Amino acid sequence: MTKKTLLITHTDLDGISPVILLELAGVKFDYKSLEISDIMDTWNEMIEKDEFKNYDLIYVCDLTLPEAIYEYINDNHLNVKVFDHHETHLYANEYDYVDVKVNLYNRQTCATELFYYYLKEIYKDLEKTSIKEYVDYVRELDTYNFTSDIPREIDSLKGTYGNKEFIKTIVRRLKKKEHFEFTSFEKRFTKIKKQELQRYLEKKEKYMLTYNIENHDVGVVFAESNKSDLGNYLAVKHPELEFIILIDASSRISYRASRDDVNVSEFASHYNGGGHRKASGSGFTDVDRDKIVRMYFNDVKDLEIKVDTED
Ligand SMILES: [Mn+2]
């Protein structure tokens, strides 16, 4: 059996775009896209199922790997290449197969860009204007350094198409066209989406709570969608606050700052989280959700019947 390449990557645009790059390069590969909090479980599952034997090369993008995984990689001599831009992951640069950079060419970079420069040396097909343009849009979105609305519009399409369809349609157009372009339907669609987003941001701002937590003046909102846009909108609009806490009770807590004197990755680390200076996160687990239910409602007991929520 011939062995394949495996890509383990994040679920956001910067995580999904490495899938697009490998498709464009014509590589035969499998991929797993996962949340940062699921890395260890996924890795252990792969060990249990003996999946590593199927692959002779494993790329990891946009995910901070814990030391335990590096120990496994080194002990088992796995052929791995890591591309990431998270500050909390810089420690792994001691391994020669790891490329973690926060900045490149004097500006913030992203995993997709680092991976792109690596692949471009091997696969000349990637030297196309449209692909480079696309990579720059991903970088702008992921680092929040915008020169136009296009990166946000691309991300909004990813949410609407779903990852699988999104990958397909982007691969198709980057192969064909010399420049990255939206379809006329997408143009109309993103315009309506933008108006919808503006209404959402304004509504969330109205319900923002303010506190002093650990000697920091912060704003707190509850949100399940558009968290980066919302965090940035509130942080920029309220410079009197040090940062914004966004609670997504069904998945995680995000921390967003716009001020240069604030480092939210430090704050997030008090809650087992981490990330970047201006954008970090920490987990919000089943244990936390359970606490809320038991705190809010009266007379809460465990259920005696069994309910299957697996699909
Ligand atoms: Mn990223």
Task: Please give the Cα distance from 211 to 231 (Å, whole number).
Answer: 16
Residues 230 and 100 in one domain: no
Residues 115 and 28 in one domain: yes
Helices and strands (DSSP H and E) totals, the chain: 11, 13
Residues 115 and 217 in one domain: no
Residues 122 and 265 in one domain: no
pTM of the model: 0.78
**Which has the closest alpha carbon to 155: 16, 8, 253, 34?**
16
The alpha carbon of 15 and the centre of ligand 1 are apart by a number of angstroms equal to 7
The alpha carbon of 83 and the centre of ligand 1 are apart by a number of angstroms equal to 10
The alpha carbon of 143 and the centre of ligand 1 are apart by a number of angstroms equal to 8
Q: pLDDT tens digit string along 136-184?
A: 999 999 998 999 999 999 998 999 999 999 999 999 999 998 899 999 9
Q: pLDDT tens digit string along 235-251?
A: 999 999 999 999 999 99
Answer whether residue 241 is part of any domain: yes
Residues 170 and 74 in one domain: yes
Position 309 confidence tier, pLDDT thresholds 50, 70, 90: confident
**Strand 252-256 with 243-247, pairing:** antiparallel
Give every CB contact of residue 283 below 8 A, 6+ residues apart in sequence.
Answer: 37, 252, 253, 271, 272, 273
Residues 223 and 97 in one domain: no
Final residue before a domain boundary, out of 167, 182, 197: 182
The alpha carbon of 249 and the centre of ligand 1 are apart by a number of angstroms equal to 22
The alpha carbon of 1 and the centre of ligand 1 are apart by a number of angstroms equal to 34
The alpha carbon of 16 and the centre of ligand 1 are apart by a number of angstroms equal to 10
> Residue 275 has what DSSP assignment?
E
Predicted pLDDT of residue 286:
94
Domain harbouring 246, CATH code: 3.10.310.30
The alpha carbon of 189 and the centre of ligand 1 are apart by a number of angstroms equal to 26
Final residue before a domain boundary, out of 182, 216, 243: 182
Answer whether residue 193 is part of any domain: no
The alpha carbon of 275 and the centre of ligand 1 are apart by a number of angstroms equal to 10
Residues 238 and 101 in one domain: no
Final residue before a domain boundary, out of 147, 182, 217: 182
The alpha carbon of 75 and the centre of ligand 1 are apart by a number of angstroms equal to 28
Residues 174 and 63 in one domain: yes
Answer whether residue 220 is part of any domain: yes
Residues 28 and 158 in one domain: yes
Burial class (CB in 10 A: 0-12, 13-18, 19+), 36: buried
> Residue 106 has what DSSP assignment?
T
Element holding 217 (H helix, E strand): strand 216-222
In three-state form (DSSP H/G/I as H, E/B as E, the rest C), the secondary structure along 241-263 is: CCEEEEECCCCEEEEECCCCCCC
Answer whether residue 200 is part of any domain: no
Residues 41 and 170 in one domain: yes
Answer whether residue 130 is part of any domain: yes
Answer whether residue 302 is part of any domain: no
Domain count of the chain?
Answer: 2
Tell me if residue 278 falls in helix, strand or coil.
coil
Give every CB contact of residue 73 below 8 A, 6+ residues apart in sequence.
Answer: 80, 95, 97
Report the largest interatomic distance among the alpha carbons of the chain, rounded to a whole angstrom. 65
Domain of residue 271 covers 205-294
Answer whether residue 192 is part of any domain: no
Q: Are 244 and 219 in contact (CB under 8 A)?
A: yes
Residues 125 and 214 in one domain: no
Domain harbouring 43, CATH code: 3.90.1640
Tell me if residue 178 falls in helix, strand or coil.
coil
Would you state the torsion angle of the CA atoms of residues 192, 193, 195, 196, taken in this order, to the nearest 10 degrees? Answer: 120
Q: pLDDT tens digit string along 39-94?
A: 999 999 999 999 999 999 999 999 999 999 999 999 999 999 999 999 889 999 99
Residues 224 and 286 in one domain: yes
Task: Please give the Cα distance from 256 to 223 (Å, whole number).
Answer: 13
The alpha carbon of 301 and the centre of ligand 1 are apart by a number of angstroms equal to 41
